[in-house]
């Protein structure tokens, strides 16, 4: 049985990430010596190292697994030996398990993480009509999760119309793409709205839509988790809407990744 874990996170601008701490604490709770390293391509020494070399080095050094974040979640797919069906459908990988022979398998725990965060924080919320803004890496996982959660009609808007259209077409007939300029009627008739854009982070201040459109019965979820209370959630709360911040997705994606790495289930 595994007694130690060597894990890492590959991405850009991840020095403040809480992921290493979450995994190391979880490892300790399971009596596993867990070392979790950040491999930040924003650092000068790594800036010119291509992803395939970073991955090969991790395999050579005996890493048991990696989390993958922006900007590599899509790019990593073609470098892996295997990619599970969910990650393949979503088109993005955030967790790579490396077996003893050095074979790499990609998974996506953002979708399951969002779904479980949603059930925990907004369980029972109406979901006949849901609007999702943002069809990037997180948005792709969220859209698949919302479909699994039984959303009747999902409307996706993105400033890249093409990205929204491609995602809607991939998921199914219950999903449509609209232009961000057509959000008003969609939001006023929605049961819930999900922000899957970076708007609300310090670098992207503001809200992704005009919150005066929100009815008090409309729930609002945000994937942004830094800060946890985005301007969108603060304004929605002030109106009396039920809200869900990005922490449930962040914690649950880590729990699922830890289980893939270690075979042990973490407590939520």
Q: Which active-site residues does the annotation give? A: 73
Between CA 160 and CA 163 the distance in angstroms is 5
CB of 113 to ligand NAD, least distance (A): 6
User: Residue 190 and residue 142: Cα distance in Å, rounded?
Assistant: 17
Angle at which helices 137-148 and 161-171 cross, to 10°:
30
* Contacts (CB under 6 A) with ligand NAD, residues 205-234: 208, 223-225
Give the residues across from 70 on adjacent strands.
Answer: none
158 is a contact residue toward ligand NAD (CB under 6 A): yes
Asked if 140 contacts 90 with a C-beta cutoff of 8 angstroms, the reply is: yes
Using a CB cutoff of 8 Å and minimum separation of 24, what contacts does 175-180 make? 175/143, 175/147, 177/135, 180/133, 180/209
Question: Cα–Cα distance between 202 and 95 in angstroms, integer?
Answer: 26
Give residue number: closest CB to ligand NAD.
Answer: 136
Tell me: does residue 201 bind ligand NAD (CB under 6 A). Answer: yes
- Our CB check for ligand NAD shows the closer of 22 and 223 to be 223
Residue 160, interface with ligand NAD (CB under 6 A)? Answer: yes
Interface pick for ligand NAD out of 22, 80, 97, 250 (rule CB under 6 A): 250
Q: How far apart are CA 123 and CA 268, in angstroms?
A: 16
Q: In this structure, are residues 215 and 238 in contact, taking their beta carbons and an 8 Å threshold?
A: no
Tell me how far, at minimum, the Cβ of 198 lies from ligand NAD, in Å: 4
253 touches ligand NAD by CB under 6 A: yes
Q: Kindly tell me the burial class for residue 68, based on how many C-beta atoms sit within 10 Å of its own C-beta (0-12, 13-18, 19 or more).
A: buried
Q: Which of 46, 198, 227, 264 binds ligand NAD (CB under 6 A)?
A: 198
Residue from 11, 137, 178, 262 touching ligand NAD (CB under 6 A): that is 137
Q: Is 165 in the site for ligand NAD (CB under 6 A)?
A: no
Site for ligand NAD contains 80 (CB under 6 A): no
Q: Which helix (H) or strand (E) holds 54?
A: helix 51-60
Shortest reach from residue 102's CB to ligand NAD, in Å: 27
* Least CB distance to ligand NAD at residue 114 (A): 7
Q: Between 34 and 195, name the residue whose CB sits nearer to ligand NAD.
A: 195
CB 253 → ligand NAD: shortest distance, Å?
5
Q: Which residue lies nearer to ligand NAD by CB, 241 or 255?
A: 255
∠59-62-65 over CA atoms, to 5°?
A: 70
179 binds ligand NAD (CB under 6 A): no
Q: Which whole-number Å values give the CA distances from 158 to 21, 131, 133, 134, in the listed order?
A: 33, 11, 6, 5
Q: Give min distance, CB of 3 to ligand NAD, in A.
A: 29
Burial class of residue 148 (count of CB atoms within 10 Å of its CB; 0-12, 13-18, 19+) = middle
Q: 8 or 139, CB closer to ligand NAD?
A: 139
> Which stretches of the chain bind ligand NAD, using CB under 6 A?
70, 110, 113, 133-139, 157-160, 163, 180, 197-199, 201, 208, 223-225, 246, 249-250, 253
């Amino acid at each position: 049985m595994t007694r130690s874990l060597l894990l890492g996170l590959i991405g850009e601008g991840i020095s403040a990430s809480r992921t290493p701490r979450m995994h190391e604490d979880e490892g300790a709770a399971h009596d596993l010596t867990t070392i979790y390293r950040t491999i930040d391509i924003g650092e000068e020494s790594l800036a010119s190292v291509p992803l395939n070399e970073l991955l090969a080095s991790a395999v050579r050094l005996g890493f048991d697994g990696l989390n993958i974040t922006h900007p590599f979640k899509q790019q990593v797919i073609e470098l892996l030996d295997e990619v599970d069906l969910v990650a393949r459908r979503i088109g993005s990988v955030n967790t790579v398990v490396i077996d003893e022979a050095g074979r790499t398998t990609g998974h996506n725990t953002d979708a399951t993480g969002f779904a479980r965060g949603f059930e925990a924080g907004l369980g029972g919320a109406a979901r006949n009509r849901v609007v999702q803004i943002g069809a990037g890496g997180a948005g792709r996982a969220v859209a698949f999760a919302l479909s699994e959660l039984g959303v009747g009609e999902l409307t996706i808007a993105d400033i890249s119309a093409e990205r929204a259209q491609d995602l809607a077409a991939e998921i199914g007939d219950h999903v449509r793409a609209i232009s961000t300029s057509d959000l008003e009627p969609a939001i006023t008739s929605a049961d819930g709205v999900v922000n899957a854009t970076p708007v609300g982070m310090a670098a992207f201040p503001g809200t992704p839509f005009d919150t005066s459109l929100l009815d008090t019965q409309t729930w609002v979820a945000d994937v942004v988790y830094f800060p946890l209370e985005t301007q969108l959630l603060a304004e929605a709360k002030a109106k009396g809407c039920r809200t869900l911040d990005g922490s449930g997705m962040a914690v649950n994606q880590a729990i699922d990744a830890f289980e893939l790495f270690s075979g042990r289930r973490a407590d939520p």
